[in-house]
């Protein structure tokens, strides 16, 4: 540890934060501004926050589309993980609230948006474990006697999807791998969608390794999935989104090609947005290319 007389110096600098010789961290973005859930008068989508676990604290925001038949109406369910480099952003921030609200409305689906633990308060692998806890919490409603009435009455756990963007896309892969490896009784994982996902092979690798309490180096399977893990992926369909100017496009393309060659029995598709960069759609969900992306995302859930 640096002595009290040592000058403060930067010893590491990553895309999201820098590290000083006294152990302090300086993040380049302010903490996310969180908004409360609310009922959307235009789409009819309702939202609320739930606590999934108190030790450690894991919560989620649930979105449910307009219910026209309270006794019989069932909706597919999407478990969604936000992006932010494993150290920032929130499921309760306005961009993610609006995105999930839109998907819930247009796909006529329940969305469970996970508020997982972030570095440095809870280093990696907290993000994976919290998201897995959220998926198991969803599965606890399979007999209609789980902790949340919306899911008990209206979730069709025979049509479950996992999705995420950037870091959340990486987490979505890890959850799908767990489902394919150990199963999730009562739940049928139909598909996985990853928007501009992070995987190993970029300058962000060093940051991930720094944030991960225990890792296996650059070949850690959570960061760089091997062929044998890809072959065991749960679900029947995968949709990967890439953007032409996104620095993560090459690793997402590698994942796409590796999955096709792995022996996995499902179908995988790729959707590219030209002329745009990483997570561009959060700047304006109503711009033409964002609408195209959302329409593709929604159709992935609604196709039979």
Residues 171 and 255 occupy one common structural domain: yes
Residues 213 and 253 occupy one common structural domain: yes
Residues 6 and 152 occupy one common structural domain: no
pLDDT band at 238 (very low <50, low <70, confident <90, very high): very high
> How far is Cα 256 from Cα 81, in angstroms, rounded to an integer?
20
> How far is Cα 210 from Cα 4, in angstroms, rounded to an integer?
24
- CA 246 from chain center: how many Å? 18
CB 103 within 8 A of CB 78: yes
pLDDT for 304 beyond 90: no
Range(s) of the domain holding residue 19: 1-30
pLDDT tens digit sequence for 109-161: 999 999 999 999 999 999 999 999 999 999 999 999 999 999 999 999 999 99
Edge-to-edge strands, sheet with 10-13: 10-13, 17-20, 25-27
CB 80 within 8 A of CB 163: yes
Residues 24 and 130 occupy one common structural domain: no
Residues 25 and 117 occupy one common structural domain: no
CB 196 within 8 A of CB 170: no
CB 280 within 8 A of CB 289: yes
Residues 24 and 86 occupy one common structural domain: no
What are the backbone dihedrals phi and psi of residue 287, each rounded to the nearest 5 degrees, phi first? -70, 160
pLDDT band at 5 (very low <50, low <70, confident <90, very high): low
Enumerate residues 6+ apart whose C-beta is below 8 A from 19: 10, 11, 12, 13, 25, 210
Helix (H, G, I), strand (E, B) or coil at 225: coil
Helix (H, G, I), strand (E, B) or coil at 195: strand
Residues 14 and 77 occupy one common structural domain: no
pLDDT for 299 beyond 50: yes
CB 217 within 8 A of CB 209: yes
pLDDT of 2 = 46
Residues 17 and 59 occupy one common structural domain: no
Q: How many structural domains comprise the chain?
A: 2
CA-closest candidate to residue 8, choices 18, 22, 19? 22
For residue 248, the domain's CATH number is 3.40.50.1820
> How far is Cα 156 from Cα 187, in angstroms, rounded to an integer?
9
CA-closest candidate to residue 301, choices 170, 190, 194? 190
Provide, rounded to the nearest whole percent, the portion of the chain with pLDDT above 70. 98
Residues 2 and 48 occupy one common structural domain: no
Residues 13 and 124 occupy one common structural domain: no
pLDDT for 1 beyond 80: no
What are the backbone dihedrals phi and psi of residue 234, each rounded to the nearest 5 degrees, phi first? -75, 160
Cis bond before residue 40 (omega within 30° of 0): no
The catalytic residue positions are: 166, 246, 278
CA atoms within 13 A on the CB side of 264: 28
Task: Report in angstroms the alpha-carbon separations of 285 from 60, 96, 180, 289.
Answer: 22, 10, 33, 9
Enumerate residues 6+ apart whose C-beta is below 8 A from 250: 201, 202
pLDDT tens digit sequence for 170-188: 999 999 999 999 999 999 9
pLDDT of 213 = 87
> How far is Cα 8 from Cα 4, in angstroms, rounded to an integer?
9
Residues 16 and 126 occupy one common structural domain: no
Residues 26 and 162 occupy one common structural domain: no
């Amino acid at each position: 540890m640096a002595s009290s007389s040592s000058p403060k110096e930067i010893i590491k600098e990553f895309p999201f934060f820098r590290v000083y010789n006294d152990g302090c961290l300086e993040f380049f973005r302010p903490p996310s501004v969180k908004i409360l859930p609310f009922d959307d008068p235009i789409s009819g989508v309702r939202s609320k926050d739930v606590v999934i676990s108190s030790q450690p604290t894991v919560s989620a925001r649930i979105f449910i589309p307009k219910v026209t038949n309270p006794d019989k109406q069932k909706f597919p369910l999407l478990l969604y993980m936000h992006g932010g480099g494993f150290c920032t952003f929130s499921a309760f921030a306005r961009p993610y609230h609006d995105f999930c609200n839109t998907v819930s409305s247009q796909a006529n689906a329940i969305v469970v948006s996970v508020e997982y633990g972030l570095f440095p308060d809870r280093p990696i692998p907290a993000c994976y474990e919290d998201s897995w806890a959220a998926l198991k919490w969803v599965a606890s409603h399979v007999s209609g006697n789980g902790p949340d009435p919306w899911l008990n009455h209206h979730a069709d756990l025979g049509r479950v999807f996992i999705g995420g963007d950037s870091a959340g896309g990486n987490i979505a892969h890890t959850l799908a791998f767990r489902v394919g490896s150990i199963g999730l009784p009562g739940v049928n994982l139909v598909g996985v969608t990853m928007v501009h996902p992070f995987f190993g092979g970029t300058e962000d690798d060093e940051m991930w390794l720094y944030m991960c309490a225990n890792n296996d180096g650059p070949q850690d399977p959570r960061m760089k999935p091997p062929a044998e893990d890809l072959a065991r992926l749960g679900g029947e369909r995968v949709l990967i989104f890439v953007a032409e100017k996104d620095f993560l496009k090459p690793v997402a393309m590698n994942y796409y090609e590796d999955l096709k060659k792995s022996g996995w029995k499902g179908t995988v598709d790729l959707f590219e947005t030209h002329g745009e960069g990483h997570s561009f759609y959060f700047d304006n969900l109503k711009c033409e290319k964002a609408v195209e992306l959302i329409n593709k995302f929604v159709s992935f859930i609604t196709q039979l």
